[in-house]
Amino acid sequence: MAGRLLLALGVLAAGALVSADLPGDGVSGALRPFYSQRLTWTDCTDVYPMEQEDVNPRVRCAWVKVPVDYGNPGGATADIYVQRYAAGTGDRLGSLFLNFGGPGVSGTEVYLDRDSSHARLANRYDLVSFDPRGTGANKTPECPGGEELDRFVSDDLDGAGWARRTRSFAQKCRLDSDLALPYLGSVNAARDLDVIRAVLGERKTNYLGYSYGGALGAVYASLFPQRVGRMVLDGGYDPTIPVAEQARTLNAAVRRAYAQYIDDCVSRSCPLGATPAAVRRNIDGLLARLEREPLDVKGRRVTRKRAEDAIFAAFYSPEDRWPLSRALADARAGRGEGLLKLADGLYGYVDGEFTTELASRIAITCADTTARPTAREVEEAVDQAAPLEFFPIEADCLDWPEPATPPLTRVGAPGLPPILVVATTGDPVTPWAWGKDLAAKLGPASLLTYQGEGHTAYGANPCVNRAVDGFLLEGGLPAAATCAAGARS
């Protein structure tokens, strides 16, 4: 049996929800209290305990109240955690909303560690990040954790076993979280963002989104074209592309990244072999052995599947390629710590325990599509998939509750201002072709191509940094359409 990556495909499908009466500053009726609420700002220690001397006076946090169901704003409400890093001494341009990807990743927890990455922007913008519903400090799905979740992300299973395990996971999440799960998803997250925009007093949404954050930005732009300010989507994609089409493009990108990784390893005195053929042979042999005899690391198993997850995780950044080579070489010698560390990065395993990131990722992904595969379809997809390959169906959504909010069916809308889409030629997570497609659909969007490796480009290349900063700070789209690979900064 070939090993698999856990997520069939972190794909968002989406349903027509573009309406002429979407809320803006003139919102009325039951939505008005949400758009006109006043916030109580704190020093963020209510969620992130810290010593008083460690509190940054420029960082403040607040809870924003939103309706659980925008179709019934008089019903239940939810609280969304928002963090703001106040602008520096430059002429203030307003708020810049950030989303660091996912889905499932906390926007406020990541942002606490990222202000230095946006130093030029932070001089003139209030940098604002938030936890999308179902993530971070907000109410999150209550799903299996601990040892059960560790087995969920590591077991080598055939199609029937995968279907049984996925169904069990979904049913347990449903028992604890059924009221919340159908109201997650990108459409409602985009609507929450518009509420946050309004209560911060901004007429336009200036936005910088990475990876899934780029997809969320595309959803927002499609729903609220009249509210889009300066928007940059780095490593973004069209969340409405059919899953089978996304899988074909993604799998081709992963195969290219794997071949590039092997070539790079050989060029650097690779510990896995002197030629590409030898490296492939040794990795294949290791994976086969791990399928028969997993390694034990303090009671946790390094299986074939976990090793494949580690390989894919290392493709996110070129800096992880050499650690991957060392980890694979160590695993051949019976030491699995390196592979385990790389794989854990995919699933939010931090300080000896799982965060809610994985459960949130699956919940949001399945709220963004109405497709629900049968057990038979899941079995066939798993059994037919090649190693290091994503499934061409929404396998994780087996038995998941149906979304209560119709997902989007297409991106784009009349009246959009110019949007800057950044795509990387060697990106195996959100392939360059997805960025090209997204820019075409968000016309008059401009596509900036980074000719390099890794996932997303802003903060990784000086040319991209100048282009993005120039657009967000001055409003001018970059004159050049490409940025060549250079030293990551």
Cis peptide before 462 (omega within 30 of 0): no
Residues 344, 273: one domain?
yes
Residues 256, 177: one domain?
no
Q: How many CB atoms are closer than 10 A to CB 352?
A: 6
Tokens describing residue 156: 């080598």
Residues 45, 70: one domain?
yes
Last residue of a domain, one of 300, 327, 349: 349
pLDDT attached to residue 25: 62
Residues 266, 285: one domain?
yes
Residues 220, 265: one domain?
no
pLDDT attached to residue 7: 45
Residues 300, 356: one domain?
no
3-state SS record for the chain: CCCCCCCCCCCCCCCCCCCCCCCCCCCCHHHHHHHCCCCCCECCCCCCCCCHHHCCCCEEEEEEEEECCCCCCCCCEEEEEEEEECCCCCCCCEEEEEECCCCCCCHHHHHCCCHHHHHHHHHHEEEEEECCCCCCCCCCCCCCCHHHHHHHCCCCCCHHHHHHHHHHHHHHHHHHHCCCHHHCCHHHHHHHHHHHHHHCCCCCEEEEEECHHHHHHHHHHHHCHHHEEEEEEECCCCCCCCHHHHHHHHHHHHHHHHHHHHHHHHCCCCCCCCCHHHHHHHHHHHHHHHHHCCEEECCEEECHHHHHHHHHHHCCCHHHHHHHHHHHHHHHCCCCHHHHHHHHHHHCEECCEECCHHHHHHHHHHHCCCCCCCHHHHHHHHHHCCCCCCCCCCHHHCCCCCCCCCCCCCCCCCCCCCCEEEEEEECCCCCHHHHHHHHHHCCCCEEEEEEEECCCCCCCCHHHHHHHHHHHHHCCCCCCCEEECCCCC
Domain count, the chain: 2
Which residues lie across from 423 on neighbouring strands?
Answer: 449
Last residue of a domain, one of 329, 349, 369: 349
pLDDT attached to residue 397: 95
pLDDT attached to residue 428: 95
Residues 87, 3: one domain?
yes
pLDDT attached to residue 54: 85
Residues 253, 189: one domain?
no
CATH number of domain containing 452: 3.40.50.1820
Q: Which residue type, as a one-letter code, is found at position 307?
A: A
Last residue of a domain, one of 299, 333, 349: 349
- Domain of 257 in residue numbering reads as 243-349
Candidates 128, 13, 2; CA nearest to 393 is 13
Residues 368, 276: one domain?
no
Residues 323, 470: one domain?
no
Q: How far is CA 299 from CA 150, 186, 303, in A?
A: 11, 37, 12
Which residue pairs, CB below 8 angstroms and at least 24 apart, start in 189-192? 189/132, 189/133, 189/216, 189/219, 189/364, 190/216, 190/219, 190/220, 190/223, 190/224, 191/23, 191/66, 191/70, 191/223, 192/64, 192/66, 192/80, 192/130, 192/132, 192/133
Tokens describing residue 315: 């493709």
Per-residue pLDDT of the chain (489 residues; tens, 9 = 90+): 444 444 444 433 333 333 333 444 668 799 999 999 999 999 999 999 988 888 888 999 999 999 999 999 999 999 999 999 999 887 999 999 999 999 999 999 877 665 567 889 999 999 999 999 999 999 999 999 999 999 999 999 999 999 999 999 999 999 888 888 999 999 999 999 999 999 999 999 999 999 999 999 999 999 999 999 999 999 999 999 988 899 999 999 999 999 999 999 999 999 999 999 999 999 999 999 999 999 999 999 999 999 999 999 999 999 999 999 999 999 999 999 999 999 999 999 998 999 999 999 999 999 999 999 999 999 999 999 998 999 999 999 999 999 999 999 999 999 999 999 999 999 999 999 999 999 999 988 899 999 999 999 999 999 999 999 999 999 999 988 999 986 444
Residues 272, 197: one domain?
no
Cβ 458 vs Cβ 483: under 8 Å: no
Residues 11, 76: one domain?
yes
* HSE (side-chain half, CA atoms, 13 Å) at 168: 12
Tokens describing residue 365: 């992904």
